[in-house]
């Protein structure tokens, strides 16, 4: 059952309006239950060396946003395709919050916009047009828009979408993302405990146990955005993490959604970087379908 189907329409509209692409709703008791799981796990911290991060904090649930498109999520470890940008090897460790051990056999699904703000499968939507205007252009009344239900895809391109699985620790090669209107630079991630591979290499997912967004440090972003082709995106100003409407929700419960970065050559991040982040997931908090569903 979708959470949104249980909400009065007005409440839904208010959420969409206040945070275009904003946070989905989780009950307070669920947030507090998850935060206390995080605190419990933090005591075991030094055990998790191989995950490249010594914390075990539950990743908050935030919106998947409008640009998820499962038919384009291919199982692969390089999702760059023909996209130009600073190379990024994103390493993601997944911890089971019940045990603080690496969670094996999960699939991590990632998608982000290209250096000038476009998402594959949605290439005809301008990265410079505010979301509600985009809806109007698509002939969609904003009161009918529902995250995870309204399908805005315009094509079947697949760049910068990918999915990988490897014993709780995985690496995806991509490029450093650019930005689009009203949002800080971010990468979407979803963790699935139940998935199958289709004949065409794309995946179908059953249980989603975590939906989050990853960010980068402001100083790093300034360095990368000064380079081409990022710097050619002058039609809009970039939203910083401090200004972003979703970022604060990603910090809930002590989690830091900011990716730690090291230069590949040990020296210059503009030549390429390796990013590390650990996601703590609660395997019992299953989101059915495309929307987060809490216990409430």
Ligand X SMILES: *[C@@H]1O[C@H](CO)[C@@H](O)[C@H](O)[C@H]1NC(C)=O
Please give the residue ranges that form the binding site for ligand X (CB under 6 A).
Answer: 53-55, 57, 71-72, 83-84, 114-116, 118, 123, 141, 143, 156, 158, 198, 200, 202, 229, 236-237, 256, 260
Closer residue to ligand X, CB minimum distance, 245 or 254: 254
Query: Are 78 and 163 spatial neighbours (Cβ–Cβ below 8 Å)?
Result: no
Please name the residues in contact with 208: beta carbons below 8 A apart, sequence gap of 6 or more: 190, 191, 192, 286, 287
Closer residue to ligand X, CB minimum distance, 76 or 286: 76
Which residue has tokens 């989690």?
255
Which residue has tokens 């590949």?
264
Query: Are 280 and 189 spatial neighbours (Cβ–Cβ below 8 Å)?
Result: no
Query: Are 40 and 187 spatial neighbours (Cβ–Cβ below 8 Å)?
Result: no
Closer residue to ligand X, CB minimum distance, 42 or 286: 42
To the nearest whole angstrom, how small is the minimum distance from the Cβ of residue 227 to ligand X?
11
Closer residue to ligand X, CB minimum distance, 19 or 233: 233
To the nearest whole angstrom, how small is the minimum distance from the Cβ of residue 102 to ligand X?
15
Closest to 287 measured CA to CA, from 210, 217, 198: 210
CA distances, 186 to each of 42, 50, 148, 215 (Å): 25, 25, 18, 5
To the nearest whole angstrom, how small is the minimum distance from the Cβ of residue 60 to ligand X?
12
To the nearest whole angstrom, how small is the minimum distance from the Cβ of residue 30 to ligand X?
20
SS3 169: strand
CA dihedral 259, 262, 263, 268 (to 10 degrees): 90
Q: Return the structure tokens found at 26.
A: 């989780």
To the nearest whole angstrom, how small is the minimum distance from the Cβ of residue 291 to ligand X?
20
Residue 1: count other Cβ atoms within 10 Å of its Cβ.
9
Closest to 123 measured CA to CA, from 81, 156, 86, 75: 156
What is the rounded distance in angstroms from the CA atom of residue 69 to the CA atom of residue 78? 18
To the nearest whole angstrom, how small is the minimum distance from the Cβ of residue 165 to ligand X?
18
To the nearest whole angstrom, how small is the minimum distance from the Cβ of residue 54 to ligand X?
5
DSSP conformation letters of 262-295: EETTSS-GGG-EEEEEEEEE-TT-PBPTTS----
Closer residue to ligand X, CB minimum distance, 3 or 203: 203
Closer residue to ligand X, CB minimum distance, 63 or 114: 114
Q: Return the structure tokens found at 169.
A: 């620790």
Please name the residues in contact with 46: beta carbons below 8 A apart, sequence gap of 6 or more: 54
To the nearest whole angstrom, how small is the minimum distance from the Cβ of residue 123 to ligand X?
4
Closer residue to ligand X, CB minimum distance, 158 or 182: 158
Closer residue to ligand X, CB minimum distance, 180 or 292: 180
């Amino acid at each position: 059952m979708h959470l949104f189907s249980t909400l009065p329409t007005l409440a839904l509209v208010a959420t969409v309006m206040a945070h275009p692409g904003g946070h989905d709703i989780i009950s307070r008791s669920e947030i507090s239950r998850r935060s206390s799981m995080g605190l419990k796990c933090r005591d075991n911290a030094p055990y998790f060396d191989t995950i490249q991060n010594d914390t075990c904090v539950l990743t908050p649930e935030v919106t998947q946003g409008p640009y998820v498109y499962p038919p384009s999520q291919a199982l692969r470890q390089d999702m760059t395709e023909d996209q130009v940008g600073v190379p990024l090897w994103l390493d993601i460790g997944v911890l089971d919050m019940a045990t603080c051990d690496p969670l094996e056999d999960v699939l991590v699904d990632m998608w982000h916009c290209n250096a000038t703000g476009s998402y594959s499968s949605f290439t005809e939507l301008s990265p410079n047009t505010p979301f509600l205007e985009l809806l109007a252009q698509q002939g969609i009344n904003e009161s009918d828009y529902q995250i995870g239900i309204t399908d805005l895809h315009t094509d079947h391109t697949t760049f910068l979408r990918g999915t990988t699985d490897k014993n709780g620790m995985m690496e995806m090669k991509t490029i450093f993302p650019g930005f689009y209107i009203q949002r800080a630079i971010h990468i979407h991630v979803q963790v699935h405990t139940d998935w199958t591979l289709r004949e065409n290499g794309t995946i179908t997912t059953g249980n989603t146990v975590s939906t989050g967004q990853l960010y980068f440090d402001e100083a790093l972003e300034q360095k990368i955005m000064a380079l081409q082709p990022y710097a050619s995106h002058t039609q809009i100003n970039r939203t910083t993490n401090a200004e972003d409407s979703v970022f604060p929700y990603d910090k809930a419960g002590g989690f830091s959604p900011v990716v730690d970065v090291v230069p590949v050559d040990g020296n210059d991040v503009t030549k390429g970087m390796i990013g590390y982040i650990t996601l703590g997931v609660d395997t019992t908090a299953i989101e059915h379908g495309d929307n987060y569903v809490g216990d409430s």
